[in-house]
Structure formats: structure tokens, C-alpha cells
Structure 1
Amino acid sequence: MKIRIQVVVEAENGEPEKVDEIARLERGALRPESLGLTLAEAKVLLHGMQQAVVTGQIVEYLEKFKTCPDCGAHRTRKGQHPLVYRTLFGKLNLVSPRLYDCPCQNHGRHSSSPLAELLSTHCAPELLYLETRFASLMSYGLSVELLTEVLPIAEEISSTSVRRHLQRVAERIEGELGEEQFQFIEGCPSDWAKQPPPGPPLTVGLDGGYVHASDQKSKAEGWFEVIAGKSVQTEGGAKVFAFVNKYDTKPKRRLYEVLKSQGLQMNQQVVFLSDGGDTVRDLQHYLSPEAEHLLDWFHISMRLTVMRQMIKGMTAELKPGDKYPETATPLADLVREFRIYIGANQAFIPNYGDRYRHDETISTAFVESTVNYVVSKRFVKKQQMRWTQRGAHLLLQIRVQVLNDDLRKTFARWFPGMRAEEPAALKEAA
């Protein structure tokens, strides 16, 4: 059996149809491996279809620039230059003409390249989306291997270009973030009383993780802190957020925008739970007038557990008449540190027993898993890379967009021709 696959382009200006043959296939006796298309054949087919479709689109697009829009005079060509444009289905080598403006425009001998202005990024939005999406879920190298394995892009992308594209997307997202403010409480109590009944309470957990630093001077300085959090609606979904503590200049704005995306009103209750550290304690203040700030029971219990285990070890070592073992000094240090810790956070310590009996949250255990899958899975576990603070921060912004199912919506807002919803297969892959 012989198969010819053609693309037929119908012009809107009445010109004859253009037929391009893009592939020929032959099939003999039916075998499981020859049923339908192979991956290699599909790549060739898609690349050929892409080339035929793009050629027709470019010709049609440039046709409207050949004459002056005001007087209809023919525009003269200054020259042309090659333009490389990368798509999901292969690299396209295009010709970009440069045209002089019409004399009636009074621009002198000014010229422009319409195609170069349209394709300024030299990378198709769909390819840019897939690069950034997969690079947020796995290493840059594995992302390149995956894309080149399933798409007809050969070896035309590299881990360096994927990282560069991801960072540009992240910088664009960062550029859309509003300015940082000391407080985000808006209006006055009389205004809040007039608002519609608020939605269910929001519970926000904050915790920190650590990432290998690329510019370490010693083993003690080989890490930097990443703050990660999760905002959970009593009835509904949850959203995560993360940032590099010493790099980010808008941490409070970042958290506020997450709460705002979940419908935060000034008369809505918000419960913040954290480990009591200065970083997260300052972050959560002045975001909502109905906010309640609590010290996480999990971090208290962990400190108590460590001291309890040390006491058990001391008791096992003691014999009648023995003096305290040397481990007593570290224990005393821990007790003193615990006293300071409790004193600094005493305003945030509730009646844990009462909250627990009323089925209210007392622990950020749910955030422990957030730190794991937002930070550790990509930056630490089995990932031997060392990171700059900027590189880690920008990657985190893409990663949280992917985990929150927001990245596709962001691209659809930038490029209205893209579908806002991801295909089901991509959602399952995440």
C-alpha cells in the first residue's frame, strides 16, 4: 500500500488552490509495529505540515504590507534578511523583507521589517510554554530530552536556551506584580461592614526550606533559605507560593496577590500559622484586619521531642552517685533557647487543646508537604545542581504557577490565540 499525504491551501483572494505533497508512506504486510504512523514518520509529517501552513501564512501576512495603507502606492524593498523561528514542529528558516515607508508618510527613508516585528521573540508561544512548564517540573536537561524525543525539533533546543526562556517568562510575570507595601489593609471598619458576606476562612501556612548555593564560600554558607507557603480555603482549593527570602523584594505583595486570587475580602477571616521566625512573622502582618496569627504547634512539639530524647539518654547513662553527663550542657542550651523562643512568640500561642477539640488547625504539617513538592523535589532531592538566588527565585515563580494551574492561563492572557485550558494529558503529566 502506498500513501501520499498532501496539504491543500485555499487562498481567500480567488487564486488557485496550492497543493503541497509533504510525505509518502509505504506499507507491506500488516504488523503491530507498522500499524498507523511511527513516531519518526509523525515527526516528518508534522514538520512538513508546519512548513506548508507557515509558508501560506507568511505570504498572506506580507501581502498587505506591499502597498501603502493611505495612498495605495507600491512600497519599495530595501533588502531582506533570514529569520529563524522555532516552533513545536521544527525550526523554520524564514525570509524577512525590509520595506521603505511610502513618501506620503513623511518619514524620510525610514524602513521596517513587518515579519521581524511580529516574530520578535523567535520562539512560538506553545513551545515557550512547554519548555517553561516541563523545566519547572524536572531538570533543564531532562526537559530537553523529553521535548526532543516526542516533538520534531531535533536537537534545536538546549538546556541553556530552556533556562534562558524560563527566566524571561518568570521576569515577565514578576514585572506584572504590583509594588510592595507595608500594609494591604484597605478602607475602614465601616466600609468592611458594608461588604457582602465573606467566603469561608482561609488558612495560610508558612515554612522554610534550604537550597544549595552556587557561590558558597564554605560549607556553612552553602545554603540559602526559600520560604514556601500554602493558602487553603475551607471550602475549595488551595494555592501555593514561594520565594527566595534574601532575593525577593516583594514578599508581602506576593502573598497578598495569592489571597486576593482566592477572593479575599477585608471582612474575611484568615488564620496564619508559622514557625515563629522573624521572616515569616513579619510577612503575614497587615494583610487583613481579620487575621489571626498563631505559632505552629508542630515546631513547638519538635523542640520538646528533642529535649525529651536528650533527657531519656541522660537517664540511661546515670548511675547512683553519678554526676550529670556532659550532655547536660547542650540540654541546658536547648532549654534556654526554647525559653527565648516561647517568650518571643507568646502573643501567638493559643489554647491548642481548645482549638484541637473544636477541629481547628493548630499545625503547619500540611505545609511540610508543600515545602517538599514545591522546593525539595525540584531543587534538592536527586538534583545535584547548585543555584544562584536569582535563578532559584525565578524558577520558583514558574513552578508555583504550574502547581496552581495558572501558567496556561497566563500564556493565554499574553497570547489570546492560545487556549486558556490545558489539554487533559498535560494536566495528568503534572
Structure 2
Amino acid sequence: MSYRRVVETLREFLPVDDKINHVTVRNRTLRVGVRIDAIELPRAQPRSPTTEWTLAIDGGFVRGRAKAEIRSFEILTGRLATPGEKPRVFACVRSELPDVAQRLTSLIQTHSGTSHPQLSVITDGANGIQNIYPQLPFAATPILDGFHISMRVRHLEQIVRGLLARSETEQYTKKALRTYVSRLRWCFWHANAVKAEHRMRQILLLCRIVVAQSARFTRSPEQLDYRVGELFAYLESNSGSTIAYGKHYREHRPISTAMAESAVNQVINARMCKHQHMRWTPRGAHLLAQVRCAVINDDLTARLAAYRARMDEVPEDVARFLEFMQQAEEAEPHAF
């Protein structure tokens, strides 16, 4: 709900003070976000060394305030999952964290219970996200989202299907292109990168040597050539991240960022984008995202309790000073 809708709901069901308004609700919510932002929960019990963890990362954009320097900014979010346990949601605005990799490291080590878990990181191949997982202090296996590859191949199939072949040469070209493109999906599904590259080069060669007899047929091979070039660049920038998607799928292991995209809808879109007309500062969006993640993960109470325990602790430098004063008083009782 928006802050104003929250106030309306509170006034309808609870005897709240009339002085409470949307500004009060917003300030108190963000205050909770400040308290739990840097809180680290105790580590969970160590699992089996063979336990596999999957970190799916995605991002969503929200509109910035009119007076801000940027019109929109990205909130990084996703889920940490392992078979048989509830996935953990996380979210942050990069500009509000000094080190995103450190935050993810703390999240993974806390819930896995070990300093070096078996981790796979699934992303959609965006450059901003690719730079995060190499900074983790333990090994992580990168996986390129298979759905994004499939959608790019699907785009190629649509272009070939739309070819209007009239002459015999054009009909042969369309038939050959359809064969090459249809086999691309099989190559990626079974991690046959060599054959996939060979098929794409055949498509490029055919698009560039065909002599079309109509202007409309000429435009389609040009589009296909451009899209295949994009696919080449996409796979090259994510080299080493493609896997045997068919094998992983049969083993019931994640091969897409679906759980990260659902986190985008749950944490970001439902509150900040869809049917919402607010504009956000990076700080306000970051703190609200912390509260939403804590509620989804059912650890808001535990985080607030950890914050209160931290506030009750005496800082180390103050404790040393008090101990020094006590020792001095015991040595010379009449000096103070």
C-alpha cells in the first residue's frame, strides 16, 4: 500500500490519533529500515558440504524525484535458495551501499552457515550484475539465464517465419534459414557451443550472399543479420556462463532467473512501479526495500531485537575507559 492508504486503513480499523498522517508512517517505516539495514543475524547451522546454493540476481528501475540528478535508478534484488528451504529475498540500491559484494557475502554466509558454500549465480547477462559475483571471497559458478537465450532465438525464428519468399532463390533461402535457426535452440539446450557458433555463421553467410528480388525480402535478412550479430556479442560477453541447460533441467536445478524476476515484482514493482505515482529518492527506496525484504523473510522481529541488543551493548572503547577508571579507583580510593 501507499503511505496514504496505510493511514486510511489504520483509521478505519484502529483508534489511532488524528495527528498520524502519511508523513508519520513514512518516517517511522524508514526509521525501521535504518535500524535493520546493517544488522547481521547469527549464522545458521552448517549444512552438508554438498549442499548447493543458488543466487538469482535481477534489477528493477524506479522513478527518481524531479529534483534528483537522475530520472530513474536501479534497485538490485533477487533470491538465495537451496532445495528444501524457503528462499531468502534481498534488495538494495547500489549507490546506498559501499560494497554490494560484501552485503551478498554476508547474506550467503549467514544462511548457508559456512564461509565457502557451493554457490551458483544466475543472471540475465547484464553488465552491471556480471561485475558483482567475481568480487565474492569464495568461488561461484556463473550461469547465464537460459530463458534470455531462448527469447533471442525466438526472435530469430519470428524474422524467418515472416520472410515473404516469391522466387525460387528466396524460397530456398527461407527453407535453409529455418533449418539453421531451428537447430540453434537444440545446440544451446545441450551446451554444444561449437555447433551453435557454426550454425550462426551459416546464417550470417546466407544473409549476406543471398540476392533477393524484392525489397521486402531484402529487409528481413538484414534484420536477421543484425540480430544474429547481437546474439554473438551477447554470448561473447557472457562466455563461460552457458551450461547444459537440458541436463540441469532434468536434475531439477535452476536454469533461469525466474525467482529473481518474481522478487522484482514482489519487492519493487508492486510497491514502487505498478499503479504507483510516487517518485523516490535512492535512500528512501533502499530503506523501504529493506523493510519489505525483512517482512517477506519473516525476520523483521529478529532484526529489530538484534538492533536493540546492539544498542544495549557498551562500546569497546567506553568499556576500556570504565575498566581503567575502576582500576585507578581501586588503586587509590581517595583520588576520586
Which amino acid is the alignment partner of residue 342 of structure 1? L
**Partner residue, 1:174:** 37
CA-to-partner distance for each residue in 1:5-32, whole Å, 9 max, x for gaps? Answer: xxxxxxxxxxxxxxxxxxxxxxxxxxxx
Q: Would you say 1:240 and 2:89 are equivalent positions?
A: yes
- Kindly, what percent of the aligned residue pairs are identical? 33
State the TM-score, normalized to the length of structure 2. Answer: 0.69
1:140 touches 1:162 (CA, 8 Å); kept in 2? Answer: yes
Change (3 A) 1:175 1:259: closer
Which amino acid is the alignment partner of residue 33 of structure 2? A
Larger relative contact order (CA 8 Å, sep ≥ 6): 2
**Partner residue, 2:333:** none
**Partner residue, 1:311:** 160
Structure 1, gaps ≥5 residues long = 1-137, 179-194, 417-430
**Partner residue, 1:400:** 293
Q: Cα RMSD between the aligned structures?
A: 2.7
Which amino acid is the alignment partner of residue 232 of structure 2? R
Which amino acid is the alignment partner of residue 391 of structure 1? G
Greater gyration radius: 1
Structure 2, gaps ≥5 residues long = 168-212, 310-336
**Partner residue, 1:113:** none
For the residue of structure 2 that corresponds to 1:346, the secondary structure is coil
Q: Would you say 1:294 and 2:294 are equivalent positions?
A: no
State the TM-score, normalized to the length of structure 1. Answer: 0.55
Report how far residue 271 of structure 1 moved: 1.2
Aligned residue-pair number: 259
For the residue of structure 1 that corresponds to 2:112, the secondary structure is coil
1:275 touches 1:295 (CA, 8 Å); kept in 2? Answer: yes
**Partner residue, 2:12:** 149
1:356 touches 1:362 (CA, 8 Å); kept in 2? Answer: yes
Distance 2:284 2:165 in 1: 52
**Partner residue, 2:257:** 364
For the residue of structure 2 that corresponds to 1:241, the secondary structure is strand
Q: Would you say 1:206 and 2:57 are equivalent positions?
A: yes
For the residue of structure 2 that corresponds to 1:411, the secondary structure is helix
Q: Which of the pair is proportionally richer in helix?
A: 2
For the residue of structure 1 that corresponds to 2:214, the secondary structure is coil
Distance 1:171 1:217 in 2: 21
**Partner residue, 1:269:** 118
CA-to-partner distance for each residue in 1:161-218, whole Å, 9 max, x for gaps? Answer: 221222222223234469xxxxxxxxxxxxxxxx984262111111122212223899
Change (3 A) 1:141 1:199: farther
Report how far residue 273 of structure 1 moved: 0.7
Which amino acid is the alignment partner of residue 214 of structure 2? D
Distance 1:290 1:300 in 2: 24
Which amino acid is the alignment partner of residue 120 of structure 2? V
CA-to-partner distance for each residue in 1:292-323, whole Å, 9 max, x for gaps? Answer: 1111111111222223223322x1x4433324
For the residue of structure 2 that corresponds to 1:173, the secondary structure is helix
**Partner residue, 1:281:** 130
For the residue of structure 2 that corresponds to 1:285, the secondary structure is helix
2:51 touches 2:82 (CA, 8 Å); kept in 1? Answer: yes
CA-to-partner distance for each residue in 1:136-159, whole Å, 9 max, x for gaps? Answer: xx2111111122222222322111
Q: Which of the pair is proportionally richer in strand?
A: 1
Distance 1:236 1:196 in 2: 12
Distance 1:153 1:349 in 2: 56
Distance 1:304 1:248 in 2: 37
For the residue of structure 1 that corresponds to 2:84, the secondary structure is coil
For the residue of structure 2 that corresponds to 1:361, the secondary structure is coil
Change (3 A) 1:415 1:171: closer
CA-to-partner distance for each residue in 1:221-268, whole Å, 9 max, x for gaps? Answer: 743222111001212121011112344323112212221231342343
Distance 2:279 2:218 in 1: 41
Change (3 A) 1:266 1:175: closer
1:216 touches 1:223 (CA, 8 Å); kept in 2? Answer: no
